[in-house]
């Protein structure tokens, strides 16, 4: 059991270092660096989740594929939503903005947001059948704490310069 935790801790440390190294490329707008950073954070999430929830091998085998697929799906949705947001900003910068274009973009953005929420709900429903009640409670706390710590660490990796700037 101790070797399992040592391995997990080593992998977590490596993932943090790799995520920090890709933060600069992601900040500069390199799409491949952003994708690698997202993948590293996802890997780190899975490793820490295993430890925080003390998952069995069976639980791990059921959860990893589920979370990996959902994260890829959400990344695709968020990527398209980001492009739509960029287009919406451009449309709103026009004088006057086109009502039909604005309505279409707003509709697509809302649809993407609903789809992302639906993916999150699917994960939570699946976890109901995999995790114990105590593990589900730990999962809620872990997710909030993990996302908060990733935000803090990415801010540090950027040198405390604030959020990444998105180009239109």
pLDDT of residue 150: 84
Q: Which helix (H) or strand (E) is 125 found in, with range?
A: helix 99-128
Per-residue confidence (pLDDT) for residue 35, from 0 to 100: 81
Retrieve residue 84's tokens. Answer: 């739509």
Q: What is the mean pLDDT of residues 33-52?
A: 89
Q: Is the dihedral of CA 125, 131, 137, 141 positive or negative?
A: negative
Q: pLDDT (tens digit, 9 = 90+) per residue, 94-141?
A: 999 999 999 999 999 999 999 999 999 999 999 999 999 999 999 999
Q: What is the pLDDT of residue 153?
A: 82
pLDDT of residue 29: 62
- Cβ proximity of 62 and 69 under 8 Å: no
Spatial distance between the Cα atoms of 154 and 88, rounded to a whole number of angstroms: 27
**How far is Cα 113 from Cα 115, in angstroms, rounded to an integer?**
5
Task: Please write the tens of the pLDDT for every residue from 2-42.
Answer: 444 434 444 444 444 444 444 444 444 677 888 888 888 88
């Amino acid at each position: 059991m101790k070797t399992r935790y040592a391995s997990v801790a080593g992998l977590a440390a490596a993932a943090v270092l790799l995520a920090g190294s890709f933060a600069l490329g992601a900040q500069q707008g390199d799409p491949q660096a952003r994708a690698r950073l997202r993948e590293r954070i996802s890997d780190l999430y899975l490793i820490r989740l295993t430890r925080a929830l003390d998952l069995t091998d069976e639980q791990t085998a059921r959860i990893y594929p589920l979370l990996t697929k959902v994260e890829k799906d959400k990344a695709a949705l968020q990527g398209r939503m980001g492009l739509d947001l960029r287009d919406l900003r451009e449309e709103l910068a026009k004088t006057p903005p086109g009502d039909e274009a604005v309505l279409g973009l707003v509709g697509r953005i809302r649809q993407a947001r609903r789809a992302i929420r639906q993916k999150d709900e699917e994960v939570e429903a699946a976890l109901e059948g995999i995790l114990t009640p105590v593990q589900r409670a730990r999962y809620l706390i872990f997710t909030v704490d993990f996302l908060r710590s990733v935000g803090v660490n990415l801010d540090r990796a950027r040198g405390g310069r604030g959020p990444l700037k998105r180009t239109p």
